[in-house]
Structure 1
Amino acid sequence: MFTGIVEETGRIKEIKRGRASAVLTIEARKVLEDVKLGDSIAVNGVCLTVTDFTSYAFMADVMHETLNRSSLGALKNGSAVNLERAMKADGRFGGHIVSGHIDGTGTIASVEKDDNAVWYTVKAPGEIMKYIVEKGSIAIDGISLTVAGVAEDAFRVSIIPHTSDNTILSIKKPGDVVNLENDIIGKYVERLMSFGEKVENGTGATRTSERITEAFLAENGF
């Protein structure tokens, strides 16, 4: 579990590509202070597991599914990345609930300077846009941000100087692809409200279950 508050930016030192997977070596400093094998570190918002580490870098495997659903496959040697360690239970929750399991990618449509802030417009597919609401939360490359405006196929966020100075968002330009993770609350609400509709079970088959309705809640004392 993460908060979307980026701790530092790291740099890709090496990428070993397999037939449908990859092993990343990422140079870092702060996230290595208490690192252990098996720890989770979000890389551009994608939760990866530390498989090895040195005093200046850590290694992580990236499987086929992750490469297909994120922008990690486009990284190259020297690419800068946002890094965040998993949240400690005794720490402040400065952002929002970020799982590190992204929903897909979006594309930077425009970048506009506005005094000390910068506006980013991000185009995204319908399956991501349906969960985005004005003043709600969105994670862009692992950065917890507040949605300032929503259109049919795009949304806008405004970035303060601190965020620009401490993340890789400052180097993003129109046309760049970013990882997106929706606020998980909306997905849970949708699942509860659609309970009982025919849904795929992951194997291509469908199943039907009870639907939560006003009548169902009344019958059960709610």
Structure 2
Amino acid sequence: MKRKHGVTELVVTDAVISQDAQVGDSVSVDGVCLTVAKREGDKMFFDVSDETQKSSGAGDLRPGAKVNLEPAMAALGRFGGHFVTGHIDGTGTIESKRAAGGGVIEILIQAPPVIQKYIVKKGSIAVDGVSLTVADVWVGGFSIVIIPHTSGVTTLGAKNRGDSVNLETDIIGKYVEKFVAAYSGNSAGGGANLLNKLREEGFTR
């Protein structure tokens, strides 16, 4: 990575994703949505803003580091998982890893409260851009389980205790929070008003 014109240039070499990448395309790099600024053969060039570096692990990348890559899903493409926007909520830290048998690995991740509030057991989360199911949740963290295929084709299998990971929670929870807050208002009785409305509509007893 090198600094230029107020941003940091990130160069990624890849023989698969780069073949179809065009200038202006969006590519997920460790879960961070970046725009292809230039392409030369197998190399893709991205301009990374200071804000992106602060809110993700992009600023910690060093020459030779491996990253997870994924092109943006085409509008007519087959949808087989949860929506990942590439807009990172923040970073977490790997607390521990353990073999769970059959090549399966359980990873425990510490997450800050601002992210933790959107994480639910059996819900979806993207870790370094990899869409995964939350196995369990507790105060201050959560766990995921990765199968041998995921371990082999992403960087998660090589991550170790203390390593930072980019986290993106399910966008549905954020919208629900915003809509409920807007409906209930900020007054002390906002929550009670919402419950009364739900009762009127027959949703609660």
Q: Same fold (TM over 0.5)?
A: yes
- Closer, same or farther in 2 for the Cα pair 1:217/1:151, shift >3 Å? closer
CA deviations over 1:37-86 (Å, ceiling 9, x no partner): 10000000000000000111110100011011000000010010000000
Partner-residue secondary structure (3-state), 1:80: coil
Aligned: 1:70 with 2:56: yes
Give the residue type in structure 1 aligned to 2:74. Answer: K
Shift of 1:19: 8.3
Q: Is the 8 A contact 2:91 2:165 kept in 1?
A: yes
**Distance in 1 between the 2:61 and 2:193 partners?**
44
Give the aligned partner of residue 12 of structure 1: none
Indicate how the Cα distance of structure 1 residues 192 and 127 shifts in structure 2: closer, same or farther if over 3 A, else same: same
Computed over aligned residues only, the root mean square deviation of the Cα atoms, in angstroms, reads: 2.2
Residues 91 and 166 in structure 2, CA contact (< 8 A), matched pair in contact too: yes
Match of 1:30 in 2: 16
- 2:194 paired with 1:184: no
> 1:90: which partner in 2?
76
Contact 2:19–2:42 (8 Å) recurs in 1: no
Distance in structure 2 (CA, Å) of the matches to 1:127 and 1:19: 32
2:149 to 162, 173, 180: 162
Paired residues of 1:21 and 1:67 also in contact (CA < 8 A) = no
Shift of 1:217: 7.2
Distance 2:170 2:193 in 1: 22
Counterpart Cα distance in 1 of 2:81 and 2:97:
23
- Give the drift of 1:89: 2.0
Matched residue, 1:105: 91
Matched residue of 2:28: which SS?
A: strand
Amino acid aligned to 1:65:
E
* Shift in alpha-carbon separation, 1:189–1:61, aligned structure 2, 3 A: same
Matching residue's letter, 1:195: A
Bigger shift: residues 177-186 or 16-25: 16-25
Aligned length: 196
Closer/same/farther in 2, CA of residues 176 and 215 from structure 1, 3 Å limit: same
- Distance 1:134-1:219 versus aligned 2 partners, 3 A rule: closer
Seq. identity, %: 48
In structure 2, how many angstroms separate the alpha carbons of the residues matched to 1:170 and 1:123? 17
Runs of 4+ in 1 over 4 A off after TM superposition: 214-220
Partners of 1:187 and 1:53 lie apart in 2 by: 35
Unpaired runs of at least 5, structure 2: 187-191
Instruction: Give the secondary structure class of the aligned counterpart of 2:68.
Output: strand
CA 1:121–1:20: 2 relative to 1, 3 Å: farther
What is the SS of the residue equivalent to 1:195? helix
**Residues 119 and 156 of structure 1 are in contact (CA less than 8 Å); yes or no, is this contact kept in structure 2?**
yes
What CA distance in whole angstroms lies between the structure 2 residues aligned with 1:105 and 1:29?
28
The equivalent residue for 2:43 is 57
Give how far 1:95 is off: 2.2
> Higher helix fraction: Structure 1 or Structure 2?
2
